[in-house]
Amino acid sequence: MSKLHAKVIVNPAAGANSTRRKWPDIQSLLRRSGLSFDYQFTESPGHGIELAKTAASDGYRYLVAVGGDGTIHEVANGILQTNNTQETSLGIICTGTGSDLSRTIGVSHDYARSLSSLTNPRRLTIDIGSVKYQKQGQTHQRYFVNYAGIGIDAEVVQATERFPKFFGGTIPYLTGLVFTFIGYRNKPVDLRIGDRAVEKTRVLSVVVANGRYFGGGMQIAPEAKPDDSLFDMVIVGDIGKFDLIKTMPRVYKGTHLTHPKVRLEKDTCITIQSSRKFLLHADGELQGEGPAYFSILPKALCLAV
């Protein structure tokens, strides 16, 4: 791995725009580590997908994402849109605000420490999620590495996009939650989990998880393993707002699964439909609307961490 020439894709806006300031130090540490690389900055949302797709198609077999969950999401999507997925590894330098995937797979949030593993990394082959959804009347597909979902979480993502992220961790998520909380109404949905049709129900949220964490450190799916070929689907039912406030601290500890209106399902696919409009996000990035079909791609991406 250390002999490979890497393409490093840097999101300067990651970490509340702090990655631009950190990059000269990161670049210096990378060169001192002996890693052979060149790099490019992303310039706009979605640009990381194009950079990664081009790099993987042009023969790079080691791509390194510098940023947070959104950056990893885009670089992974670029790799997965090529014919070279099985031969291409993804390294991570964590400089983001939430960095939930890094928590699950054990990448240090101290970038100086995580840099040292890039020249001699452990290889971790993980599952990838795929979701088909609607946008402007057309069916689209997006891959996700950590989690995706519908309900209040998607509307929180929409809310957080309306104001700058000056803080890291959970603060952006909680701020978006406050903005969303008052006007949100639980959604009536039809669920099909695997081959089983589930009764029509009202939900606050459905989280389709590959990793354990979301929202900057909330342990939404405490049993999830990114390499077990299964989604952990956390279905939060028709819970009231006062009950939600009481339950939120339990999400950090991962003890919310015992709540009578929270259920965990493990399967390889789920379809979500509703008579009402609902938004959908993937890895904390707003994508479009339902209906939505989620499926898992076992052992689809190699991480070099």
* Alpha-carbon distances of 152 from 72, 168, 273, 281, rounded to whole Å: 23, 20, 15, 10
Domain containing 244: what range? 128-299
93 and 139 co-located in one domain: no
Query: In total, how many domains does the chain have?
Result: 2
3-state secondary structure of 271: strand
Strand partners, 36: 5
Residue 94: inside a domain, yes or no? Answer: yes
Tens digits of per-residue pLDDT, 37-75? Answer: 999 999 999 999 999 999 999 999 999 999 999 999 999
134 and 115 co-located in one domain: no
pLDDT the model gives residue 255? 95
State the Rg of the chain over Cα: 19
Pick the closest to residue 117 from 29, 51, 22, 48 (CA basis). Answer: 29
Alpha-carbon span 211 to 137, nearest angstrom: 30
- In this predicted structure, the answer to whether residue 158 has a pLDDT above a threshold of 60 is yes
CA 233-238-241 angle, to 5 degrees, is: 110
154 and 290 co-located in one domain: yes
Q: Is omega for the bond preceding 249 within 30 degrees of 0, making it cis?
A: no
Residue 287: inside a domain, yes or no? Answer: yes
Residue 305: inside a domain, yes or no? Answer: no
- Residue 77 tokens read as 């999507």
Which of the pair, 17 or 139, is modelled with greater confidence? Answer: 139
Average pLDDT over residues 96-123: 82
Residue 259: inside a domain, yes or no? Answer: yes
Which of the pair, 16 or 232, is modelled with greater confidence? Answer: 232
Res. 98 pLDDT band, cuts 50 70 90: confident
25 and 170 co-located in one domain: no
pLDDT the model gives residue 113? 80
Res. 1 pLDDT band, cuts 50 70 90: very low
Tens digits of per-residue pLDDT, 228-287? Answer: 999 999 999 999 888 988 998 999 999 999 999 999 999 999 999 999 999 999 998 999
94 and 35 co-located in one domain: yes
97 and 31 co-located in one domain: yes
